[in-house]
Amino acid sequence: MVEILVEKLLAYAELKLALNSEDINYYRNVLLNKFGLKKPYKGVINVSEIQSMNNPQMLIDEMQHLIETKGLPAHLSFADPEEVIIDVLGMMTPIPSVVSQRFAKIHKKDSNKAIKYLYDLSIANNYIQEAKVAENIRWRAELSDKYFEMTINLAKPEIDNKETAKLLKEKQDDKYPSCPLCLENVGFGGNESTPPRQNLRAVPLTLDKEEWYLQFSPFVYYKDHIIVISKDHNPMTITPRIFSKLVAFVDQFPDLFIGSNSDIPIVGGSILNHEHFQGGAKVMPMFSAKDRFVLKHKHDRKLKISILEWDSNVIKLESRTKSLLLAKAAEITGNWLEYTNEELGIIPATSGERHAAVTPIVVKEKHKYIMYLILRNNRTDEKYPTGIFHAHPEYHNIKKEGIGLIEQMGTFILPARLKNEFGLIEELYKKGVTGAEMISEHPSIAKHATFIKELMLSKIKPTEFEKYARDYMTNVCENILQNTACFKNDEAGQDAFIKFLQL
């Protein structure tokens, strides 16, 4: 009965979205009109049931049931229940200015509580679809000298690096919203290329006198996964200006990390045409890595410079003095953008196209600033047409997207297709189907031929399949991270890395 659902939605908004009791009659009439109802339900609803909800999934399920049983008016009979809920809850979520004021008031006293306020609101209004996020497959992979956080993300689409590069050159003049990150997405109803965002709320920040905004990622790859976005739609750049903004952010949110993807395709993120950062809780595996080499230099009492014991090329800068840290980061970046080592295949540019880039990440520990600079290069050749320092083709069955800052820090986001593909392999393995039959009769898993052959040789028990498959995926991701290293972890590579740092 739609009338009952309307009352449940109102009660949910009052309990979870801070809907003012004075506004309930107003929103009741808005919902009655939306659902084509003449009068409201006069009975009693179970408020305690609504109070116990952590997210609105139960209301979405009720909406789905009404659609399936034709309990909604004709204009909503083919609607997506999630989109209807997004519209309704977005309408009853406090307007952006109220959210911003509340966030700022809390932030004055406690930055962590301000982040929690925005996170809880994003869960309650279903911008973060908690029920779907909970379905993601996660495991912590322990390796000999480190650990990785592994996730098969069931909501995130798999992105082609070529499409990412095209977007950077695409004209945005007539497109609205200009891109998925622009502030004009707040409240947007959605279209064929952009999902509805009525329930999105972003709060303003000032970083070095520039206007930026903070919002949560709807995909929640890790704890407190935020996105910090420039108000202006300008392409990604990695310059001293960006380093300074990263440091300014951790001054305001000292319990979070913040980082920027590189500003060129293949080694950057999936959106290169709008300046933005990603951050969150300091839970990344890379933060636990030890030093492999510490550089001795004239300022070493005030600025520590080291190479991290990590699969990719990470330089770690530590200092209490912001100016020293920022100056050294700019110097190292400038050196990297011009560095050539043909023996190692490192060429910074060809025919006017830049290949060298860095991925910067900043954290603050008490009064000390730490900046990680990850050296990147997106050059391609005939052998590696998708990237010399990118995931090599033999690993594309697991991950072929750009290896951005999140993976670089040891948190791997793997495509949803792996759940079904490895699920099918497991099912066939339990039935005793041969590897050759699997590959020939099931095209969707032919890409995993190497894994299937190894599986058959292993002769593991069917009950051991999950661990075996996860270990395989973890090993592939470790190899991918090593692929991205420009200075390989051998004598020649590490000697060259140290000499570069000494420039």
Largest CA distance in the chain: 79
pLDDT computed for residue 409 by the predictor: 99
pLDDT computed for residue 453 by the predictor: 98
> For residue range 416-445, what is the model confidence (pLDDT) as tens digits?
999 999 999 999 999 999 999 999 999 999
> For residue range 438-497, what is the model confidence (pLDDT) as tens digits?
999 999 999 999 999 999 999 999 999 999 999 999 999 999 999 999 999 999 999 999
Mean pLDDT estimate for the chain? 95
Residue 270 and residue 405: Cα distance in Å, rounded? 11
Residue 21 and residue 244: Cα distance in Å, rounded? 44
The tokens of 425 are what?
A: 């392999």
Residue 276 confidence (pLDDT) above 70? yes
> For residue range 279-308, what is the model confidence (pLDDT) as tens digits?
999 999 999 999 999 999 877 789 999 999
Contact, 209 vs 245, CB < 8 A? no
Residue 220 confidence (pLDDT) above 70? yes
Residue 229 confidence (pLDDT) above 80? yes
Residue 333 confidence (pLDDT) above 90? yes
The tokens of 403 are what?
A: 């290896």
- In the predicted model, what is the mean pLDDT of residues 104-118? 98
pTM: 0.95
Sign for the CA dihedral angle at 458, 463, 464, 467 comes to positive
- Distance in Å from the first CA to the final CA of the chain: 72
> For residue range 200-217, what is the model confidence (pLDDT) as tens digits?
999 999 999 999 999 999
pLDDT computed for residue 76 by the predictor: 83
Residue 478 and residue 488: Cα distance in Å, rounded? 13
**Banded pLDDT at 165 (limits 50, 70, 90):** low
The tokens of 458 are what?
A: 């292993």
**Banded pLDDT at 162 (limits 50, 70, 90):** low
Side chain identity at residue 161, one-letter code: N
